[in-house]
Amino acid sequence: MTSPTLNSQSAMLAQQCAVPSRCTAPVCRAQKLVALRFRRPDLKKAARFFIDFGLSVVSEDEDRVLLRGASDETACVIIEHGAPAYVGFSLAVASADDLARLAAANNTEVIDADHGRGGRRVQLIDPDGIQVEAIWNYSRLPDLNVPDAPPENRVKQTPRINTAVRIALDRPCIINKLGHTVLGVRRIAESIAWYQQNFGLIVSDFQLMENDALPVVAFMRCDLGNQPADHHTLAIASGVETGHMHTAFELNGLDSVAAGGEFLRRRKYHHTWGIGRHILGSQLFDYWRDPHGDMFEHYSDGDLFDSNVPTGYHPIHPESMHQWGPPLNADMAGKKPSINLIRTIVTRLRSNDDLSFKRLINLIRSA
């Protein structure tokens, strides 16, 4: 049962927060996250990481590689040849009318989808310069097989008799689907409003600092009405670093998360944080970095909310990201010292965005 103190604190934070939790009349309502887009100088090396992470190749040539999870209906990772960059992501919409309204509202046009995916799209740029593609009527890929998780013997429930559990550690785990992506932004209220107004995203949970009307993090889900949606499809953070913070892929159970991590460890990839269980979203998590430093998450057992669940308001502090697991470290919290981090701080403190010196100090204390 939630304590009265926590209820009182949540009510105080809700009153403090200056950002609305949803838009009542969005241009359209996104259905789900369907793809990420990156540029990499070495396509084979880049694809190798995602294959080891658990994706399968859909198509490849000298200019690009497309990969997917087992239940993804279209390629969920698009890697194009070029200097290292996170380009953006794609959201599925429900109809041609949605595309037309988005195009009209943003003074652009509806065009064909690229890379042989089929369907039509509208290409937008969010307030931080991230390419956000709305896509509809793409060609559906057939489902691939995801092995069942082994039955678990629990107290008074023992379905596994005369059978031992053996988990394969010599091969990648199998990713079921692309789950969510997380962005660091310069003006969080503006960014949240942009995604709410264009795509109808609902804030599942805000995290805030004491006496600060601007949230630090907004976890946003698709509005599918009475149909449950992942706790967050997009999370937006008002931290120090901007751009891609991490992207998460769903696996089938804790054994898959652990086995996938063991395989990546044997392949000498960089482990960032995990295994643990999140508080907001409840996912069992494990975080890794690719050879270019981008961070990716394996997760399982995440929350699903329909549109009737009200927004939560929570304080942010070092233990607010996980119920159990290893302590939050500097790599995950974005406090790992580097020349790029120092440059980012200096540049942003000189600019007219959310990061003031006072807010920077409070963010460091909170993280």
146 CB contacts (<8 Å, ≥6 apart)? 70, 71, 174, 176, 252
12 CB contacts (<8 Å, ≥6 apart)? none
pTM of this prediction? 0.94
Arithmetic mean of pLDDT, 132-155: 94
How far is it, in rounded angstroms, from Cα 52 to Cα 291? 12
Q: Any idea where the domains of the chain sit in the sequence?
A: 18-140+172-366
How far is it, in rounded angstroms, from Cα 3 to Cα 90? 40
How far is it, in rounded angstroms, from Cα 261 to Cα 286? 7
Residue 77 exposed, middle or buried by CB count within 10 Å (0-12, 13-18, 19+): buried
For residue 161, the Cα-to-chain-centroid distance in whole angstroms is 38
Phi/psi-derived region of residue 365, left when phi > 0, alpha when psi is between -120 and 50, beta in every other case:
alpha
How far is it, in rounded angstroms, from Cα 33 to Cα 220? 12
pLDDT at 335 > cutoff 80: no
State the architecture of 18-140+172-366 in CATH terms.
Roll (3.10)
91 contacts 27 by C-beta, under 8 angstroms:
no
pLDDT band at 3; cut points 50, 70, 90? very low
Out of 30-39, 116-125, 221-230, 323-332, pick the least confident.
Answer: 323-332
pLDDT band at 4; cut points 50, 70, 90? very low
pLDDT at 24 > cutoff 70: yes
